[in-house]
Amino acid sequence: MLFRSKETTLVAVETGTSKMVVAVGHVRHDGVLKVLGLGESSSAGVRKGDVFDPKTASDALREAMAKAEENADVVIHEAFVALSGAHLECVAQRGSTMISQEKKVVTEEDIEEARDLAEEMSLPEGRCHVATLPKGFSIDGGPRVSDPVGMNGTQVEGEFLIVHGVASRLHNVMDRVRELQIDVCDFSLSPMASAEAVLTEEQKKLGALVIDLGGGLTHYAAYINGQIESLGVLGVGGDHVTQDLSRAFNLPLRLSEDLKCSQGAVVGEDRVRDEVIALKPMSGFAGKSIYRESLIKVMRARWEETLLIVKKQLGDNFLDLLSAGIFLTGGSSRTQGIQTLAETIFQLPVTLVKEHAFNGNVGELARPELSTVLGVLLLGQKRVLQERGDASLGQRFSRALKKMKFIV
Amino acid sequence: MKIQIFGLGGTGLQVIDAIKATDSVQVMGWDADEQALKNCSLKEKRWIGADLLRGWGVRGDKSVGAQVFRLHEQEIKNEIKTSAIVFLVVSLGGGLGAGGLTSVINWVKEKGALPIILVSTPFQWEGVRSVNQAIQMLRELRKTGEAVFIFPADQLTKEGWAEGERADQKWSAVIEAMRQCLSGLMEMITKKGLVFSETEEVLKAITKISHGVSLQGGFGWGEGKGTHAMDEALATVIANDWLRDAATSAHEVLVAVLGGPKLALAEVKKATEFLKQHVGNENTHFIFNAILEESYEGKVKLVIWTAGVQKSETPIEAPLQESEERAPLPVSQDKAKGQELKQEAFAFETPNRGRFEKTDATFYQGENLDIPTFLRKQIRIRQVSL
């Protein structure tokens, strides 16, 4: 079982490109999740969500973990881990099975069988199956339903998103956590975690897209009728903008990062055509002036391209189904004008999500870069509540875990 | 998915002449040489630059080639299908195709289509101007991160010349290799494989390998029939001129195994093990895709692409100097005899990915997203003058 019935302290870990974050939460008896504390450190050894320098990454995670323990006043033994990386890919697969003529209603076993059939696909060498996410089911070719258990029929067909990735890279992330003598009790896919933190169940039913603009990656998850419809990870993030500025103006990376955070914008270059930004001299840099218009051009080119790729991957027809609109989060969603740019590209209402509805120190949590780690906590909370309400669900999770054992 | 194959100029026309058009594959030749067009059996061919050149071709002048394509901009744009995969086949040493290539790539992209480019580079004895032009163009193609497959003609002369062998025979070998590469890529894209069933996956593998091809890349193909079809195909593929040198330095390898539906998996396994032994090293990353269908019953075909990594000691290929003497042309012994010019491989500047050097490059539809967007899109960035 994932959670022992009395133990309701949850720990979420995100090994991001810009930062390592550990969040500690507590699910109270009334089911409410309270955030007890956070631990953060500047990330190192991670690029585009992949660990490239294990030792440095472990040190950074150790620092974040220690801070979280101190702030939440707990000793951490196990944690949920957010998984991401540009190597993650997903494909839609179908699996169908005949419903037992004795029972004549869809059972959990039928769903499992359909799922097993959908998972029967060969993957290129080195890649492994990461998760299977149900998109919906149909009984005898009828309309799509999210939970067919108990429905009458002769055949049930399920449509699933099969997520797969490079096994060694997933291990790299898990190993960093385990090195600290902390058990990985389960993982969440970062796109889904961010969506969990940002969307209400109502918005998922209406149709919504969450785009998390991170430091090393941009990931997105789209929901229709309350079910995941599509997700993706693109190996482009705020790091690329920093590098673009460095190349455009011949600046040290650290200065480019500061420039991006303090002056960065993606709209309005017409209004600042001849405005000049003076960059003060510092060690190893003689000082320089740049046009604000040029700064905006460089940044807009990158974010416009990134959002257009997300749009293209989803397809135009799909956008019509997003009645609740688009939600931007992640550290790079702080970029001035990004909401306007996204609205122009998607031609849909766009909301910037900075705050999360949590109990706890709200001021500390009101940051878009925390969406993923807080989403992991929320997914943990959901499981705790399901376990409390339905003992058989615990078995179901155990079964799911068995399938993922090669990773965890 | 719609596929278009455009042959630009004389070489392009020659390569695509034997490619069959189907409902989903359009094959079209564009040339300024009226005679070459008449000799070509393609159904769809366009005579361009007729008013400007009166059917005489551009005589190797790239700027005239560019002018000709600009005059036909709208006509060409109208032919490019939205979201298609467009193969552009061209010689970088020539005038027309080389001149028009950059513009056509941009027009393809404007239509939201994906350009995949097959280019030949000239023999040294074709002249310093041609060789330098090809080097320069390849550098540009790498800078903009295009998916390019390169066929350096000079590679075929490294082992010397067989007795009585003529230059046109060597050239025919270049054309045939380009044709085989094109048809191998087409098979991968249009037919469902055992490993890659989705076009997107195939395109990803193709674009990935194409970006490394220009860095000591290699290519080979081989066919076999009957009981020992696989052995025959393997022996042939490994003997390919363009694979021989590249094999040891291969970093990424993509292999298409084409056979009949009865081709035993043991045979496919045999091919993978053989190629892993003979190509690359323990760090080489292999991708195999097997395509089994009726038309290959009783035979086997292997197509292999390898991509190398730029070694730090490899000097960036310097353009040849006009003062350097040309290497001897074997068929014309009376021509100038001079020192042998070094042109072992087209090794080009790796685009600087800066802080992303330690990561896998992020590609999307053939573009390397680690290269700043403003550079790839050629957006002018105004600088404050001192």
Task: For chains A and B, count residue pairs whose Cβ atoms are closer than 8 Å.
Answer: 87
Mutate to test the interface with B, among A17, A18, A46, A48 (most CBs of B within 10 A): A48
B379 neighbourhood in chain A, CB within 8 Å: 297-298, 301
Q: Is A270 exposed, middle or buried (0-12, 13-18, 19+ CB in 10 A)?
A: exposed
Question: Which of B286, B375, B382 is closest, CB to CB, to A294?
Answer: B382
* pLDDT, position B137: 84
* pLDDT, position A233: 96
* pLDDT, position B53: 77
* pLDDT, position A332: 96
> Which percentage of chain B shows pLDDT scores above 70?
78
Contact across the interface for A236 and B362, Cβ inside 8 Å: yes
Mutate to test the interface with A, among B194, B364, B376, B379 (most CBs of A within 10 A): B364
* CA closest to A250 among chain B residues: B383
Would you state the structure tokens that stand for residue B272, as one six-digit string?
């993978």
Residue A102: which pLDDT band, with cuts at 50, 70 and 90?
Answer: confident
Q: Is B302 exposed, middle or buried (0-12, 13-18, 19+ CB in 10 A)?
A: buried
Contact across the interface for B377 and A236, Cβ inside 8 Å: no
Contact across the interface for A122 and B373, Cβ inside 8 Å: no
Which range scores top for mean pLDDT: A218-227, B148-157, B223-232?
Answer: A218-227
* A86 at interface of B, judged by CB pairs closer than 8 A: yes
A309 neighbourhood in chain B, CB within 8 Å: 364
Contacts by residues A99-105 (CB-CB < 8 Å, ≥ 24 positions apart): A99/A139, A99/A153, A99/A154, A99/A155, A99/A156, A101/A154, A104/A152, A104/A153, A105/A149, A105/A150, A105/A151, A105/A152, A105/A153
A290 neighbourhood in chain B, CB within 8 Å: 383-384
Contact across the interface for B360 and A86, Cβ inside 8 Å: yes
**pLDDT(A338) > 60:** yes
Contact across the interface for B373 and A301, Cβ inside 8 Å: yes
Q: What is the pLDDT of residues A51-79, one digit of tens each?
A: 988 999 999 999 999 999 999 999 999 99
**pLDDT(B315) > 50:** no
Task: For residues B367-386, give the mean pLDDT.
Answer: 83
Q: What is the pLDDT of residues B132-183, one digit of tens each?
A: 888 888 877 877 777 888 888 877 766 566 666 676 777 888 898 899 999 9
CA–CA gap between residue A74 and residue B330 (Å, rounded)? 81
- Closest by CA to B324, choosing from B302, B341, B308, is B341
A234 neighbourhood in chain B, CB within 8 Å: 362, 364, 369
CA distance B250 to chain A (A): 18
CA distances to A273, A287, A392, B355 from A250, rounded to whole Å, are 20, 11, 60, 14
Interface predicted TM-score (ipTM) of this complex, two decimals = 0.89
B286 neighbourhood in chain A, CB within 8 Å: 125
> Which percentage of chain A shows pLDDT scores above 90?
62
Residue A164: which pLDDT band, with cuts at 50, 70 and 90?
Answer: very high
CA–CA gap between residue B107 and residue B80 (Å, rounded)? 8
* pLDDT, position A383: 83
**pLDDT(B71) > 50:** yes
Q: What is the pLDDT of residues B186-199, one digit of tens each?
A: 888 888 777 766 77
If you ran DSSP here, which 8-state letter would residue B342 be given?
P
**Which chain B residues have any C-beta within 8 angstroms of a chain A C-beta?**
194-195, 198, 286-287, 354-356, 358-360, 362, 364, 369-370, 372-375, 377, 379, 381-384
* A289 at interface of B, judged by CB pairs closer than 8 A: yes
Q: What is the pLDDT of residues B77-96, one digit of tens each?
A: 999 988 889 999 999 888 88
Handedness of CA A259, A261, A266, A267 (dihedral sign): negative
Amino acid at residue number A86:
A
* CA closest to A51 among chain B residues: B359
Question: Which of A235, A276, A301 is closest, CB to CB, to B374?
Answer: A301
Greatest alpha-carbon pair distance for chain A in Å reads: 82
Q: What is the pLDDT of residues B232-258, one digit of tens each?
A: 888 888 888 777 766 666 778 889 999
Question: Average pLDDT of chain B?
Answer: 77
Residue B331: which pLDDT band, with cuts at 50, 70 and 90?
Answer: very low
Task: For residues A104-114, give the mean pLDDT.
Answer: 90
Question: Which of A52, A243, A288 is closest, CB to CB, to B354?
Answer: A243
- Closest by CA to B239, choosing from B302, B186, B311, B162, is B302
Contact across the interface for B381 and A248, Cβ inside 8 Å: yes
Contact across the interface for A298 and B381, Cβ inside 8 Å: yes
Judge whether A329 and A198 are in contact, CB under 8 Å.
Answer: yes
Of the listed ranges A97-106, A129-138, B69-78, B360-369, the least confidently predicted one is B360-369
Question: Average pLDDT of chain A?
Answer: 87
Would you state the structure tokens that stand for residue A111, as one six-digit string?
């769903």
Task: For residues A329-342, give the mean pLDDT.
Answer: 96
- Closest by CA to A86, choosing from A309, A244, A304, is A309
Task: For residues B257-275, give the mean pLDDT.
Answer: 85
Handedness of CA A178, A45, A308, B142 (dihedral sign): negative
